[in-house]
Amino acid sequence: MLPVMRVPLPTPGARIPHRAWIRSCCLVLAGCAALRGHAADPPPASAKEIRERIDAAAKLLTGGKNDEAVAALAEGIAGLEAMTAMPRPPAGFKLLADRAEAVRRKLDKAGADVSMLSIPTPTPPAAGAAPQKPVIGGKASVSFARDVAPILAKSCGGCHIAGRKGDFQMVSYDGLMRSGMVQRGAGQASRLVDVILTGDMPRGGGKVTSDAVATLVKWIDAGAVCDADPTAGIDLLARGGGAPPPPVPAAPIAAVSLKPGDVSFAAEVAPLLAKNCLGCHGGNETEANLSMASMATLLRGGRTGPAVVAGKGAESLLVKKLRGAGIEGQRMPLNKNPLPDADIALIEKWITQGARLDMLTGATPLDTIVAAGLTKRLSDGELAKVRSAVGEKLWRRVIPDEEPVVVVRAGLCVIGNLPAARMATFADVAETVTGSVRSELGVDGPLLKGGVVLYAVKQAFDYSAIWQNVVGAERPKGISSHAGVAGEVVYGAMLAPATESGDDLDAAIAEAVVAAAFAGRNVPAWFSRGAGRALAARIAPKSALVAQWKRDGASAVSQLGSVADFLAGHSEPAAAALAAGGFVGSIAAGNKLAQMLAALDEDTPFDDAFAGVFRATPAKAFEKWAARASR
């Protein structure tokens, strides 16, 4: 580990030779590189300290103090350089580096001399290391319910379980894992542990004992396994002192056909709930432990009992809360105007008719059901216009300081901040690649009804902003593209490769477009990502990017945790992406993906479609591949 090399910031108002100071910071960077591998007692600067230096640089720049800003940024970069020598840089390293690069760019535009400032990158692990065998089950060495939940409830509960301070909440195990604060198998590098060890958390004078920190590290190192209901409240688990009795499994909520006069959940009720309720009762932010993130969580109810009693609309707590009658506490939605009487009556009628689902499954996210209802009602052209408009709004919310370039092609709306000429070229390549994808999948018409919104950004910091705002977590290391559904938008997002053409660009675009096309058909994220990489390998077989995926795919298996973790989306994201590509690529020979697409377009549930095409369950098929890949 490197020794700390600090250069004090100039005292406000002091006159110093700034260029000489900057040169000294650069000597610090060079010294860090030269000393890499030498032991030393003092620890490197913490992530908190580095972030403070970078933020100070941004504030100084805003105040017109360019030289002081360069000096502050140089010290932040020195801390980042020291981090690169660690065996495993902290989970937040990439975000800090992206932030530093963004400030460096702004300084450059402002005319400051930043020629001596270079943002470091971590040293990749040594090649040839033997991969560990995958964890295909087994018992947890540390209990999440008995050991970890009480620590989190005591030390973090007031701000991050009951509240959402700093835009971070972990009501349940699922919420904690989606936040990106835990990096499976890397306790010391996980952000959750880092903010405790650096003293950044908990705020308000509280302390976490060394024994408690050791428990958290041991739990994460062992795979961060959950031995209770992953959707149960952390505070409830903590009060129980252990895992609750296994719940009686509820029957899966399946879609039914509606008769004339029946209220449609997808087209009529879900849009009302999504617009008025998800702000407080979404997946990661659930007041009273009531989540409306899906039909299943809505029907499960919250801390005060069931919110919906099928067949009894007027007696259901949801309707009472919306009317503000016969309840304790405040009328809902909180701090908003009450819903019109007609809307409340519609929700009551839906419950009285049996609170039935008419599209997708009970586990499907509510915003996906809303989008599916919209897709069913509109034509391809109408839906494409809606997606393009909402896609632009999403860009302006995520990256408000850059006006996007928008290029529309057949089945695509390409939005980004590349130079206009390059955006046009990028859109042309994307259109050609999409045509190849359609051919591979045997699709005669649009690849996806309403098309795909493809975001292309030129800087890592911009891509991180998309990930943080749309996915709702810190961007994981090693991820430069992804796809998903955000309300009405079915999108692929990518950090555009430096090249304007070639195999790597074709592969990157194919991965994003294919993943988006499957995501728009409501498949698990691992399958959409895997399908994207599998088809990209066919379309651009000579791509160096594809070769890297194939080379690293097998070694990623050891970082996944259990099969259940991988299939549920709880594995480390970069490793999960590599494994998904290797897994789906191994089973999707011939026209298997085309068969999957056809089955999904006939409204066949994913598990049934998978079993019909691949003659196995996803778990069995993955176990077989993982065992073979880890040999």
pLDDT (tens digit per residue) in 37-95: 444 444 556 777 888 899 899 999 989 999 999 999 999 898 888 877 765 566 567 67
Q: Reading across the β-sheet that carries 412-416, which strands appear in turn? A: 405-409, 412-416, 452-457, 489-495, 481-486
User: Are residues 610 and 530 in contact, defined by beta-carbon separation less than 8 angstroms?
Assistant: no
Query: Which tens digit of pLDDT belongs to each residue from 560-612?
Result: 888 888 998 888 888 999 999 999 999 998 999 999 999 999 989 899 999 99
Tally Cβ neighbours within 10 Å of residue 370.
Answer: 25
pTM for this model (two decimals):
0.61
Model confidence over 418-434: pLDDT tens digits? 999 999 999 999 999 99
Name the least confident of 117-131, 203-217, 247-261, 346-360.
Answer: 117-131
Neighbour-count burial of 62, counting CB atoms closer than 10 A to its CB (0-12 exposed, 13-18 middle, 19+ buried): exposed
| pLDDT for residue 484 | 92
pLDDT at position 115: 79
Residue with the larger pLDDT of the pair 265 and 34: 265
Class of residue 9 by CB neighbours under 10 A (exposed 0-12, middle 13-18, buried 19+)? middle
CA distance 280 to 290: 9
- Higher-scoring residue by pLDDT: 318, 124: 318
CA-to-CA dists, residue 145 to 154, 226, 603, angstroms: 13, 7, 38
Instruction: Give the number of C-alpha atoms closer than 13 A to the C-alpha of residue 452, restricted to the C-beta side.
Output: 31
Contact 54, 61 (CB under 8 A): no
- The pLDDT score that the predictor gives to residue 244 is 43
Query: Of 176, 198, 179, nearest to 188 (Cα)?
Result: 198
Rounded distance between C-alpha atoms, residue 515 and residue 593, angstroms:
12
Q: Contact 170/161 with Cβ under 8 angstroms?
A: yes
Domains by residue range for the chain, with CATH: 18-109 (no CATH), 144-240 (no CATH), 265-371 (no CATH), 378-629 (1.10.390)
C-alpha to C-alpha distance for 273 and 269, rounded to whole angstroms = 6
Q: What single-letter DSSP state applies at residue 468?
A: I
Count CA atoms closer than 13 A to 465's CA, side-chain side. Answer: 21
d(CA 53, CA 46): 11
